[in-house]
Amino acid sequence: MFNRKIKRPIIMFIGPKSRLWLGGFVGLAVILGALGIWLMTDVPHTHSSGQPSLPVNASVVDGPSIQFQVEGVKADVSGENYFVNYRLKREQSRQEMKAMLSELLNSTVEKTQEQAQEKWLELSTKIQKEGEVENLLKIKGFQDAVADVFLDNVTVIVYAPSITPNEVSIIQDIVARVTKVRKDKITISAKQ
């Protein structure tokens, strides 16, 4: 029935228009393959400026977004670097506390969940008040400051060689307004 002696190439069974289409697809496949190989082997080059590494503090916010905060770090702990190191240690401590509270928030014991929620709210309020105090002090002209807010007292350290009575009054007013802590419960120090 079939003549096995006749060997025809497969390409002959395809018409001239089909050959053109087939050639176009083969050419496109070759180009895309070459482009893919080129992109996969292209390694991005990194640039190192020789400065110390920059830590990135990230925290997940409600929803899929992530906020990053970057602060440069130097080795010594005097002057301005004291404030950077203070913030880094404070943030590390808070991240550890948040991790522990996060575990407790997922607890099946209702009382444990409630206590964890209260602690989480206290921590959030503390962070918000400390940030507000620090920002307001910078707005008032202080080069840098850190605040530690507790339920019944507040400690503030400002970057300055000394503090005048007028500056003490300004700091007390800001802290008392933000935290609702009495002025006699506010401790103020200078660090240079």
- Residue 126 resides in a domain: yes
The residue segments making up the domain with residue 149 are 56-191
CATH of the domain at 117: 1.10.287.4300
- Residue 46 resides in a domain: no
Tokens matching residue 44: 């991005």
**Residue carrying the six token digits 């962070």:** 127
- Residue 3 resides in a domain: no
How many domains does the chain fold into?
A: 1
pLDDT at 51: 44
Query: pTM value?
Result: 0.58
- Residue 113 resides in a domain: yes
Give the integer Cα–Cα distance in Å for 146 and 28: 62
Query: No. of H helices and E strands in the chain?
Result: 4, 5
pLDDT at 107: 84
pLDDT at 136: 97
pLDDT at 17: 63
Tens of pLDDT along the chain (192 residues)? Answer: 555 666 655 555 556 666 666 667 667 666 766 666 666 655 444 444 444 444 444 444 454 444 445 555 444 555 668 999 999 999 999 999 999 998 888 888 888 889 999 999 999 999 999 999 999 999 999 999 999 999 899 999 999 999 999 999 999 999 999 999 999 999 999 998
Cβ neighbours around 154 below 10 Å, total: 25
Does residue 70 contact residue 56 with C-beta atoms inside 8 Å? yes
- Residue 37 resides in a domain: no
Residue 187, SS3 per DSSP: strand
**Residue carrying the six token digits 């070459």:** 34
- Residue 77 resides in a domain: yes
- Residue 26 resides in a domain: no
- Residue 8 resides in a domain: no
